[in-house]
Amino acid sequence: ALPRETLLRYPLAYLQYIAIILTNGAPDAFQDGVMRLNELREACERQEGPVPHGRDRILAELYLTRI
């Protein structure tokens, strides 16, 4: 498994990974996916400077993934 710092450095790729976790169907995996979504949102909101692919886009993708 990759360290969280590495995953957070590539937010779109990490978000795709989270989407796979959420659609897995296992209740434990779903809870893990929700926790990771929250963690990614918080990291994106508090990161100073530019966010790869743009902060607004990442936050919008996070919102759509939650739906």
Q: In order along the chain (67 residues), what is the average pLDDT of each group of 10 residues?
A: 88 94 91 95 91 90 90
The predicted pLDDT at position 19 comes to: 95
User: What pLDDT does residue 49 have?
Assistant: 87
d(CA 14, CA 36): 9
Distance of CA 48 to the CA centre of its chain: 17
Ramachandran angles phi, psi of 51, nearest 5°? -110, 135
